[in-house]
Amino acid sequence: MALTFYWYPNCGTCKKAKKWFDEHNVDYNSIHIVEETPSKEMLETLINQSELPAKKFFNTSGKKYRELNIKEKIQDATTEEMAALLASDGMLIKRPIVTDGNKVTVGFREEDFQKYWSTK
């Protein structure tokens, strides 16, 4: 079964992840995270499946994150409120997000990709 790969084509980290998938013959469906931003409900599902805090889904180095002062807005926000904020703009989401429907990784760490997504 193909993985779902939420990415932004201009993102260097996403390009590394895509290259890793291609080199390891991993089957994936790529979704442009800005053109097809995941819904609030999908983001809640991804957050819950990842077992990571919702704050880890924010692109903290992004321009929009700083411009909108998201750090302050999410300090006491619920997972639901954070998912709604993330769904409002794909540029706020840390990328890439990869899922097989059960497991979820956020960002690109080769060790994690090897552990979770390697077909060997």
Under the banding of pLDDT at 50, 70 and 90, the label for residue 119 is confident
In the prediction, which pLDDT does 120 show?
A: 61
Q: What is the pLDDT of residues 89-105, one digit of tens each?
A: 999 999 999 999 999 99
- The average confidence (pLDDT) of the chain is 96
In the prediction, which pLDDT does 1 show?
A: 74
Residue 104 burial (C-beta neighbours within 10 Å; 0-12, 13-18, 19+): buried
d(CA 77, CA 27): 36
Q: Judging by DSSP bridges, how do beta strands 28-32 and 3-7 pair with one another?
A: parallel
Residue 78 pLDDT greater than 80, yes or no: yes
Is 3-117 a CATH 3.40.30.10 domain? yes
Q: Judging by DSSP bridges, how do beta strands 3-7 and 97-99 pair with one another?
A: antiparallel
Residue 52 pLDDT greater than 80, yes or no: yes
Residue 34 burial (C-beta neighbours within 10 Å; 0-12, 13-18, 19+): middle
How much is the average pLDDT of 67-72? 94
In the prediction, which pLDDT does 63 show?
A: 94
Residue 76 pLDDT greater than 70, yes or no: yes
In the chain, the percentage of residues whose pLDDT exceeds 70 is: 99
